[in-house]
């Protein structure tokens, strides 16, 4: 492994740790905290709004800084998504994601951050996500063969 490749891996690991730590500190890995945030007509807890606003601010600043460069530091070119098309797959996926998050208070990022806490519900959620991803791939491949 070259020094550049090693640095990319180490950088990704460190950034992942920082992101995970932020999710844990903000309590986004606690399904009850998330469900209370989503329950605006019941036991509403608006504190996660600060987390979301902070994430948007950091993202806007990060994109502005990164895209002001001619080239990335460790790559030859930026890999920015080329399509901004809103299709049925995107809408259905977003709806399923939102429904799942609203029903149980977990989404993949916080669940992966919290898996090290050895909470059985989080582990089962991650297993279900992995099964769901693979089931989608199988159905997609099967549909393309027809």
Long-range pairs for 120-126 at CB < 8 Å and ≥24 separation?
Answer: 121/31, 122/29
DSSP calls for 56-101: HHHHHHHHHHHHTSSS-SSSSS----------HHHHHHHHHHHHHH
Predicted confidence pLDDT, tens digits, the chain (146 residues): 777 788 888 988 998 999 888 888 998 888 899 999 989 899 899 999 998 999 999 999 988 998 888 888 777 888 777 888 999 989 999 999 999 889 989 888 888 888 888 788 889 999 999 999 999 899 888 877 76
Contact 37, 46 (CB under 8 A): yes
Dihedral sign computed on CA atoms, order 48, 54, 58, 64: positive
């Amino acid at each position: 492994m070259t020094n550049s490749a090693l640095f990319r891996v180490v950088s990704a690991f460190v950034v992942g740790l920082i992101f995970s730590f932020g999710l844990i500190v903000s309590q986004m890995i606690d399904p009850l905290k998330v469900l209370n945030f989503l329950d605006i007509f019941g036991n509403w807890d608006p504190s996660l709004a600060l987390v979301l606003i902070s994430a948007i601010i950091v993202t806007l600043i990060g994109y502005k800084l990164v895209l002001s460069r001619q080239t990335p530091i460790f790559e030859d070119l930026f890999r920015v998504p080329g399509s901004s098309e809103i299709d049925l797959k995107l809408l259905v996926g977003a709806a399923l994601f939102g429904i799942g998050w609203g029903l149980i208070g977990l989404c993949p990022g916080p669940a992966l951050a919290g898996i090290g806490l050895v909470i059985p519900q989080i582990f089962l959620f991650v297993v279900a996500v992995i099964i769901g991803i693979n089931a989608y791939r199988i159905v997609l491949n099967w549909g393309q063969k027809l």
